[in-house]
Structure 1
Amino acid sequence: MAENTGDIVLPPTKRFRKIPIYVVEEHNDALQFIYSAIGGKKLPLEGTTLLHLDAHPDMLIDRKLKGTEARAGRNLLPLLQIENWIVPAAAAGHIAYVVWLRPPWAKQFRDGTRAFHVGDQPTTGLLRVDSTEPYYLSDALYSSHLINKRKLTFTVAELSDMSTSKQTIQELAETINISQPYVLDIDLDFFSTGNPFLLQYENIGLYDLLEPIFELKLPESDDEKEMEKAVELRERQLEELEKLFLYLEEHGNLEKYEGEKTELFDKVSRLSDVVIAEAEKLGEPPDWWLVFAAGCTRDQGGLPHHTSSEEQIRNMITSGLKPLLQRLPPPVLITVARSTEDGYCPPHQVELIQSLVLQTLSEVYDTDEPALHYLRVNTY
């Protein structure tokens, strides 16, 4: 159960007349509206809860992001991507509690509540966590020693796509234990989820070919030294892969690569031959950086993929989302991410999902007209 423990957070000094709704395309753009609400004293400076409905946790950290950058206010915003915008805000203290409601097909974390810290790795200043979850080990984000650290409480629970009883919804509401002030954050790919990397050179099954190259070898125990060693090896693996694919992006092949010819080099070399042959058939040069990005999602089973039927989408909203929201206190503000240009919410379904979600929000809450931020050029 997620509980707001620790220091007492004073309520914001001001309130919105009606609950604002901000609709963005890329999910990390939602954070600017949370920061604006903090600046306008609609949200407290510290301790806010984020109720996050999404097919993806978005709880990573850019491996090169420094703690000082995470605590730099709005200067942080241009440094973020869709998968790593929440934890940096937690490092600044603005978000203290995250509840990730996932659809049944998203299993990146086990259900339940855990608390961990986010802070600076002392020798590098890079932002890291002391969580030993595979989600963080796979990106070499674990560090047992942190400074300037903040506690983050993280709850994961499933909101089913099947017809859900009132008792089940009530139990879920009690489990996640949402209290004010909080932000309601909805990614439309929660209701129907695409994995755009599956379409990349699908004739050769590229996504599956990447698995043995990017696979994570988990430590055999949770001993601190074993964890640190595993992270060090993973960091080396990711750095070598990044170097190899950067070379491919610049030179098109590895024939004159002057780096060490490791086992990893051999694997990438064999893969590059297959990709180049397929790209020639398609009459297009390979996008090696996109191949690298796909590989970075391939460990731990890969990204979720589930295209819902229209009936399933409607049922998730009417039998899942709406009755749950009716059992929770109203949020301070609402952010909605479309996530369709990058292929995570199927483009042919996004308008239907958006209209149904916005209609539901207007029925449950006293809301302003949605601000369709995705129709404007993003500026910070």
Structure 2
Amino acid sequence: RCWQWDWKPWGRLSLNVPVCIVDSHGDALFYWSSTHTGQARTVLHLDSHADMMINWSNQIWTSPGPDWLPPSRDELVGRIAQQVDLANFQPSAIFQGLVDSVVWLRSDFPLGQYNGPPPGHYRCLLAMPDYSVQGCDADPIVGDGARPLLASYPVSGESFREYGATIVHESRKEVLRVRQRHVPVERNTLWDSSWACTRPPVEQLSVAFDHSVVTLNQLISEDTGLLEAVRQKLRVDVPGGSDWILDIDLDYFATYSPLLAYIIRKHGWTAQADAEAFSSWAVPLGQLCAHGLEKAAKATLFSPDCQQRTIKQIITLPFSSEGQHVCPFGPEILGIFRAIHAACQIPEEITEGLSILVRRLTHQQRTQWAALQPDDWWWVMQSQGPHHYSSREEISSAARSLEKVLKYFPYPPSLVTIARSMDMYMPEGASDIAEWEVLLLVRRVWPQKDWPKLPEQLQHCGEEDVRQILDNVTFYPTSRPLPGQEPIPMGPRPWPWLPGDVSDLPPVLPASWQVVD
């Protein structure tokens, strides 16, 4: 069951902003679509992930050749609208004409790698590649093993700085040139490069859009002009500007890298201290292995004949053959690998990075390392996404910092969507506090009509404040339950500051709401 309302456009001065809470972020598109009034809206997207994956495919529609013909626009839009998930719902909204500008306000956690692009302003084209053109570079394979139905083409714009190669052992990209001097550098400069399609776009199957990427520190820093630039990108800087959507994934405040989430939950390291102790060595190790060691020694240490022995040596680096803790230095690690393949060439910074990582392991971290089972290591030795298990204080502080950003906009969003992301991403201990802090944030910035002013801090809220916070909030049951679980009705998360659960406190429902199955 979920709460539903009969939606009607509300005036710019109305502050009765509807809030829709989903579990899987892709379900937010249901509300974006059902509240669409004909004009494309803009989106302020708070998330640790770009959610701009283009993963649609079709064997028939993408079979290249000189006689290739594209599908009709209606056929293609129908396909893009039907196959929606948590990673592609924004490109789907763009191609359907629901949205034409997205500002990604991303987190800036030090561990892991963001799925790009780097902070900056971009003008792009979302289009079907022309598969009749010959002599193009190899196309990627996505989805069901076919070529992609859509690709993103850069039109104009650029990142705030120019980057060079990844410095693997320091977990950062080299900054070659600063383009906007007053914009502070992001804390995490690691990001994925997207596939660059060499085929031209099909003009009649193309949609242009704006995509900006900023961090909170960049946005609120003085003299950058970024906050005003974001207002312009959202088209809320002039009277009669665009309707806009505030879209918040709670993993903006705290997130697991999905590959590590499996290990953390498997071994019961879900307390913040345990999860952070594990990730602080596992994420750099994955970076050193995936982007350093394997890249440098693909033909030697990671050849079919040597790969298993190489992995075994990595797994046992902190321990002697008798199981005692050891701290090998870089030259010793190079000797270990050359005993596997004498011709391997490994940059000194990689072996030194592995040495520093092993030498800095605490007793708890060595215990975690030793507890990993053979099949666990595949999950660890990969490039990881952003990862940080924030404390309550960090989450509350981040929410309060966002208040000054949202108050800069002259009128409220027409819709607020919130994603819990509890399937793979959200740390268990951060879910409750993050959701309630966001709800308080929204109601403080855009208060409900005729309600008293809400407290600044969540722990000072009483029962009536909770009712006010929950007014006009819709809970949507997940479409992607965890394996082995059935979808269940959603309600408010447990109150984080008092014992017990507030789910027995019903929201004060407007007359237009109803409970439906």
Query: Would the TM-score normalized by the shorter structure come out above 0.5?
Result: yes
Amino acid at match of 2:93: A
Q: Does 1:72 align with 2:77?
A: yes
Count matched residues: 303
Determine which of 260, 267, 285 is the counterpart of 1:198. Answer: 260
1:158 CA drift (Å): 1.1
Conserved 8 A contact 2:42-2:99: yes
Equivalent position of 2:10 in the other structure: 15
**Which one has the largest radius of gyration?**
2
Distance 1:131 1:267, change over 3 A: farther
Q: TM-score, normalised by structure 2?
A: 0.49
1:200 CA drift (Å): 4.8
Distance 1:272 1:131, change over 3 A: farther
Deviates more, 1:263-272 or 1:190-199: 263-272
Equivalent position of 1:120 in the other structure: 128
What do residues 150-180 of structure 1 show as CA deviations (whole Å, max 9, x unaligned)?
A: 1111111111399x67x57x94431202322
Q: Over aligned residues, Cα RMSD in angstroms?
A: 4.4
Conserved 8 A contact 2:52-2:88: yes
Distance 1:195 1:160 in 2: 22
Distance 2:56 2:288 in 1: 24
Amino acid at match of 2:413: P
Equivalent position of 1:369 in the other structure: 472
Show structure 1 runs of 5+ residues with no match.
Answer: 1-11, 218-262
Distance 1:365 1:287 in 2: 46
The percent of aligned pairs where both chains have the same amino acid is 24
Show structure 2 runs of 5+ residues with no match.
Answer: 1-6, 62-70, 132-146, 160-189, 237-241, 265-277, 317-369, 449-470, 479-486, 490-515
Distance 2:120 2:394 in 1: 25
Equivalent position of 1:27 in the other structure: 25
Q: 2:394 is paired with a residue of what secondary structure?
A: helix
1:267 CA drift (Å): 8.8
Q: Does 1:175 align with 2:229?
A: yes
Q: 1:349 is paired with a residue of what secondary structure?
A: helix
1:103 CA drift (Å): 2.0
1:1-380 alignment runs, 5 A limit: 14-15=9-10, 18-38=16-36, 41=37, 44-45=38-39, 47-62=40-55, 64=57, 71-73=76-78, 76=80, 79-105=83-109, 107=114, 108-123=116-131, 126-131=149-154, 137-138=193-194, 140=195, 142-147=197-202, 148-160=205-217, 167=222, 171-177=225-231, 178=234, 179=236, 180-200=242-262, 207-208=286-287, 211-212=290-291, 266=304, 270=308, 298=383, 302-318=384-400, 320-328=401-409, 329-342=411-424, 344-366=425-447, 368-374=471-477
Q: Larger helix proportion, structure 1 or 2?
A: 1
1:90 CA drift (Å): 1.3
Distance 1:181 1:58, change over 3 A: same
Conserved 8 A contact 1:325-1:364: yes
Conserved 8 A contact 1:136-1:142: no
Distance 2:103 2:295 in 1: 26
Distance 2:207 2:218 in 1: 34
What do residues 92-133 of structure 1 show as CA deviations (whole Å, max 9, x unaligned)?
A: 222110100112227533222111111101216711111399
Distance 2:295 2:230 in 1: 31
1:273 CA drift (Å): 8.2
1:352 CA drift (Å): 0.7
